[in-house]
Structure 1
Amino acid sequence: MKPLTQAQAEQLQEITQHLLRVREEKSITIEEIAIHTNIRLSILKALDAGDFQALPEPIYVQGFIRRYGEVIGLDGQALAHTFKINDFPEYSYNESQDSAKKLNIHIPLIVPYALLLVLASVGLIYILNSKLTPESQAQPQNAVPTQDTKTKP
């Protein structure tokens, strides 16, 4: 496990106290949370007790916070984002930036079909010609086998 920074530990302490307070106000047991979130009971107890050494990596803890919050009726997504898992600034992915980088090449649909047709024709001609060539060299098509027949007078 990657140890939490001091700032992360303080954030996590505030978040878990808030989750515990809301859970107790709504009279929801920790076992019910474990059932609804599919989070191990030992991890939920560690969160409630503030035993952060027993927790996995911060990215997983962020997911636990989100699911825990949603089960007790809070906005789990917003609550999870208050727990920063790294010191890097938030980067929001913007599809318009990515699409601006893409080349805008448009190939008409007829081009691959025409190419496929040409390749199939060439392949068929090659296969048929290779079958005819050995036969024509071995025996002429119109030739009749000749036998020396002797006629009796």
Structure 2
Amino acid sequence: MTLLAPLKHITALKFSKLSPHHIFASVASSLEPRPLPIPIVHEPAPLPPTPSEILQEIGGELRQLRQQRQLTIEDLSARTRIQPRLIQAIEEGHLEMLPEPVYVRGLVKRYSDSLGLNGLTISARVPHWAPEAATFEPTTKLQLTGFNPTIRINPLQIYIGYTLAIVCAGAVTSYLLNNAIKPPAIASNVIPPRAAGIAVVRPTNSQPAQKLADVKIGIAIQSPTWAQIGIDGTTKFTGNLQPGMQLSWIATKQVTVNTNNAGGLLLSRDGQPAQPLGKVGQKLSTTVKVSK
């Protein structure tokens, strides 16, 4: 609209037969401001909900039903064996406090089943998110000077760590058992049984004792027994004994016998008649003085 517009109207009407009133109305109408066109504004398409918002919606529904049934998070944790902090993270949609989506679906299914819902259907609504977008972050953090990183643990790393720990523990246990379980040492002075089935145990010192106080000790076995025999404070034999075996030593002070069948052992000194140490089946721990 310019100042020459009225002149254009006057020129157009110069040769017309209209009255001055019509000419004035036409000029006045040309001077009225015309409305500006209304711009068309295109509204942006709504953004899809984020995985956190979707999980928060699912968790809100589960929380509402849990509260309607007057169940606390601890009650639900006892039912489902899900840690309370994971239940709270699901209800509030905190992806940073949860493991990978495949594990979250299993937790949501267990949560839903415990409330009598169709856990498979509800768990299918759990969205998928990239592992780097929300990694399982325990609340434990390293407190270092000027550096405070968050420990990020991947479930696959946990599984590999547990497997390696089990393998190492099995290897260590096998090594300890192989070294702890050894066959009992056989005394070098025990001669294998002869044809008559008698084992003779000779003293460690093959040289005859020069002391007049030496006493020959004989032990005959008449029923199966376990025994530990010591001569003058030194253990000479430990193990199982069978009927018919005979043992002998030279003692100067005492003979110590520990056995679980005292009646199965017959003790003699210097060829005297052998006497049983106790009753059959009797456990006995005794010391016999042999000095003259």
Q: TM-score, length-normalised on structure 1? A: 0.49
Structure of greater Rg: 2
Per residue, is there more strand in 1 or in 2?
Answer: 2
User: Greater relative contact order (Cα 8 A, min sep 6): structure 1 or 2?
Assistant: 1
Q: TM-score, length-normalised on structure 2? A: 0.27
Per residue, is there more helix in 1 or in 2?
Answer: 1
